[in-house]
Structure 1
Amino acid sequence: MTDQQSGDGEGTERKRRVVRRRRDMDFTPVRNGMDFLLSAFDHLSQRDGVPGRRDLKYAVLHLQAAVEVLLKARLIREHWSLVFSDPGKAKKADYDKGSFTSCTVLAAVDRLNNIVTLQITKEQRQAISSLADTRNALTHLGHTGSVYAVEAQAATVLDFLLSFIHEELRPALSSEAAYVKATMEQLSTRLGQVKALVKQRSQRLERELRPLADRVVQCGECQQWAFVLGEDEPSCRFCLATCVDGHDAAVSQLERGTADAIAHCPTCEWQYYTVVVGARVAKNKTASVDLCFHCLTDYAREDVASA
């Protein structure tokens, strides 16, 4: 090999390293927002369940960043000009360079409601506004407010963001879909650790789940009594974990040790094992039943055994 060839080879390798480094730093808006959200959860999910003031501070800062980035990611999907502070003066060249003043987070909320026609409620908008105020106070004024107030704000916004990602971002993703799905799974496993969030989501879901109590079981992911059966895709209303069908949900219960056995259903046409023997439902958490996770028929143990 000649010196020139050797030099060319070293130059090519240097270029490859540069490309790899650039690729490592390539955070799209959705990836960036999910990364901030993971960090917020890291600071809220402490082993003893009680985040300290420093953890709460960084949880607020990173959660606010996640809200802003993810809301604007949805705006960009509608049209790139909507993230400018003044869309009427938006220039594509400035957008491509990232050289522009973007809209505020509340302006993003209003544009999502008025232009994209989403339904972000007044309560959710207020929670986002309060979080933004707290973030500004922490950054510029050395905020030393109540830990419980910060937890309550974070809980409400996290509650909103999980649903927003699930409903508004995931369905339209292509190359990032697997990443977002994997990140959501990580978030689901941590969700039950955030006490304030557990309380806030549970209270919000209580009225919704009460009439479904005879077909709500404990979720294997977050351990909350919020997993609703009898739907095309059985799912947890708390952490948004889903199963493919009733059979998948039944197998999950068996694998996690929350069922004695699974069996064929004598009533419905479903061909797989869907009856969970020894299941427990929210209507009476202390009594075990033999329930088909597909057609919701409740059997006596002898009926299932003889099927």
Structure 2
Amino acid sequence: MAKIKQKKQSSDEWFDAVVTNGLSFLHSSVERLENDAKFAIIDLYTAIELFFKARLMKEHWALILTKPDEANKVKFENGDFQSVYLKQAVNRLEKICGEEFDNAAIENFNALNGHRNQLVHFAHTDFFHGNSSVVIEHWASWYYLHNLLTEQWRPYFESYEDKFQQLQRKVNKNKGYLSAKFEALKCQIEIERKKGNEIEECPSCKLESAVITKTYNWGHDIECLVCDVKKLKLKDIRTEIKCDSCKKSMEYFMLTDEFCPHCSAEITPEYALEQYSYLYEKEDPDCLIQDGCDYIAYCHTCGDKKPSVVYVDGLWVCVFCEDRGWTATHCNHCDSFVTGDVQRVEDFACHRCEDEVRDDILAGFN
């Protein structure tokens, strides 16, 4: 077997090369989905494995090898090695990196792998009998992968976010197969309504086909009958603020990007926070928007140094990361007004002072 020689590269260069390769397979998958679903499935699963390997490489390049204890940098650079499959990659990310994955996402990726194996190693009868179920799983796989790359793995893939969003825009245009399934499921959707189940628009395929399975104060769990996506859909926040440019009102938390829907002026989170602060001042002129004010809390999720959580539409919502549903309370130790687990804040400390409190406790044992 002829050896493959590749140029010497740094760890960052190898990471970029793997991500770029994954992106090329994603583009191919999206472009082929309508007319050549078979290769779209193969390309998408290949991309999924590549991104899992790229995430492993962020810890150490040897982790993508089936036998890391036999790692050889020269062989790695020449492509002379066996790499992990998805199951191994997931296992290592969970046990070594402390990652936690959505079970529905991993199950979907594994199902896609099963279809891919049938296509590559034998044959897949669904592609010869007009069955669209496999194509629908393709949509769900892209949805879960996109969420993984832009949310959970955002710190590792942030520099590629524009390319991910470009792909997302392409995917949103390829809905012919989803519309066909939606039409076929109209009777079933109506049966769900008659059972008393609430149906609403799916955040993934944008069709009115998502069954609400459980309701919380901050949103509800949904299962889409068309694209099979299962996720928590957060409660819509409708309180409006005015654009600084055109002065027209907009629902900031409902924007899909940071631009005014009327004049396309940029609407930054900092500006939105300022505007929601003004709303509080109108309701209570004696309230000072500063540290300790009972109207703006520190967010324990994004940990920003500036108070960024506002009380809107009956929920505490962070203007920066948009996490919602938590209770805001004063910390007994540092008196900061924060969100988080109230019991933990009262019994131990908040996210702003927990390190200091922990150090004080440990010092007491020395």
Both structures adopt the same fold (TM-score exceeding 0.5):
yes
Q: Does 1:212 align with 2:239?
A: no
Q: Is the 8 A contact 1:215 1:296 kept in 2?
A: no
Give 1:165 deviation, angstroms: 1.6
| Deviation for aligned residue 1:91 | 2.0
Q: CA deviation at 1:28?
A: 0.4
Higher helix share: 1
Partner Cα separation in structure 1 for residue 275 and residue 124 of structure 2: 62
Q: Distance in 2 between matches of 1:228 and 1:99?
A: 54
Aligned to 1:163: 147
Structure 2 spans left out of the alignment, 5+ residues:
1-6, 8-14, 180-200, 213-218, 221-231, 241-249, 266-273, 280-309, 314-366
Q: Is the contact between residue 56 and residue 147 of structure 1 (CA under 8 Å) also seen in structure 2?
A: no
Alignment partner of 1:229 is 2:209: no
* 8 Å contact from structure 1 (residues 85, 101) kept in 2: yes
User: 2:239 touches 2:312 (CA, 8 Å); kept in 1?
Assistant: no
Contact 1:36 1:63 in 2 (8 A): yes
Counterpart of 2:29 (choices 32, 36, 40) is 40
Q: May I ask how many residue pairs the two structures share in their alignment?
A: 207
Superposition deviation, residue 66 in structure 1: 0.4
Contact 2:150 2:161 in 1 (8 A): no
RMSD over aligned Cα, in angstroms? 3.8
Matches within 5 A, 1:205-284: 207=220, 208-209=232-233, 211-212=235-236, 214=238, 229-230=252-253, 236=256, 242-243=257-258, 249-250=259-260, 252-255=261-264, 268-269=277-278
Whether 1:193 aligns to 2:177 is: no
Q: Which residue of 2 aligns with 1:71?
A: 52
Aligned-pair CA distance for 1:79:
0.9
After superposition, the Cα gap between the structure-2 partners of 1:168 and 1:35, relative to the gap in structure 1 and judged at 3 Å, is farther
Q: Which amino acid aligns with 1:42?
A: E
Whose relative contact order is higher, 1 or 2, with alpha carbons under 8 Å and at least 6 apart? 1
Q: Are residues 77 and 152 of structure 1, via their aligned partners in 2, closer, same or farther at CA, if it must alter by over 3 Å? A: same
Write the distance in 2 (CA, Å) between the matches of 1:148 and 1:63.
Answer: 16
SS across alignment from 2:151: helix
Q: Distance in 2 between matches of 1:99 and 1:128?
A: 27
| Sequence identity percentage | 23
Residue 57 (structure 1) aligned with residue 57 (structure 2): no
Contact 2:30 2:170 in 1 (8 A): yes
The yes-or-no answer on 1:117 pairing with 2:101 is no
The SS at the match of 1:192 is helix
Provide, for residues 188-237 of structure 1, a one-character-per-residue CA deviation record: whole Å limited to 9, x for no partner. 32232243499572549983446325359xxxxxxxxxx9834xxx764x
Preserved contact between residue 28 and residue 40 of structure 2 (Cα < 8 Å): yes
